[in-house]
Amino acid sequence: MKTILHATDFSANAAAALKYAHFIAGCWSGRLCVLHVFDDPTLSKQNNPPPPQLITQTFDEQKVKLEKYCKEHIGLDKASEYLTLIAVENRSAVKGIIEKLHETAADLVVVGMTGRSNLKELIMGSITRQLIVEAPCPVLCIPEEEEEEVLPNIKTIVYATDFETEDIEAILKIVELARPAKAKIHVVHIATEKEYAGEIRFEGFRQMLKKKAHYDHLDTEVVLSVDIFDSLRSYMNIVGADLVVMLEREKKGIGKKVFHRDLIKKMESYGKIPLLSFNETLLQDV
């Protein structure tokens, strides 16, 4: 992981996401790009474009805000060789972020789970959902800080699996994230007794994962339950999860696809543990 992009609206919740982005960039000796997408109607006029001096002044002001933001929350400024500050004018926050994700070839985008914006896009379930579906990299969503600040940490990761081939591919990506910190990865399948595929399929999946992952700090488990979301939430509390990872699936039948997206939405709404979401299309080259 070389480039981490953090998109901010300068809210308190975004600051929590900045700290996580900085933490991850440090763990993997990566580059941190901090992006602010702003909407300025005077810069968007087609018939009467603003003078170049005004354009330059507007972008300089946004860069100053970004520098103050980074200095306050992570102690870095524009002089740091590991930090890049980016200001973009775009009426759509999502489009502005995705364009920069492509330009920077970012390996990860880190955002807050809530935010504030006159575009009404930095609201739970809007910008997050669009980024999960459209971003060319995984999306890490950070919940709002509690009253007592908790330093970013990734020691225990939970991944919810369906025993599918793409789950193996996603877990290999998670291993890349976990290996530098030797983080523990818990791969858990939560299902009702009716839906459970059986011990043979589970053992086959476990053996395949062991053969491909080559990572000692990884275990697999099955939990039978009548309520998958509640059981996943309880499981995360039991193992002390610092991060939960889910896969946005595209190839399955409509019923399973809708159910899985509903589970991701519930995890976003849960909002107490950072959520890393992969889009299945990103795993095609693994």
Residue-wise pLDDT tens digits, 189-219: 887 777 666 677 788 888 999 899 999 999 9
Provide the pLDDT for residue 45.
Answer: 60
Q: For 113-164, what is each residue's pLDDT tens digit?
A: 764 443 334 444 467 778 888 899 999 988 876 555 656 888 999 998 888 8
Give me the amino acid identity at 94.
V
Q: Where are the domains of the chain?
A: 3-142, 156-283
CATH of 156-283, one of 3.40.50.620, 3.30.830.10, 3.20.20.70, 3.90.660.10: 3.40.50.620
- The beta strands (E) that lie in the chain are given as 3-7, 31-38, 83-89, 108-112, 139-142, 156-160, 184-191, 218-224, 243-248, 275-279
Provide the pLDDT for residue 198.
Answer: 67
Here the tokens at position 149 are 């600040």
Q: Three-state SS across 174-201?
A: HHHHHHHHCCEEEEEEEECCCCCCCHHH
Instruction: Show the low-confidence residues of the chain (pLDDT under 50).
Output: 115-125, 253-255, 257-259, 285-286
Q: Evaluate whether 3-142 and 156-283 have a shared fold.
A: yes
Q: Which residue's entry shows tokens 């983080």?
A: 183
CATH of 3-142, one of 3.30.70.100, 3.40.50.620, 3.30.70.360, 3.20.20.70: 3.40.50.620
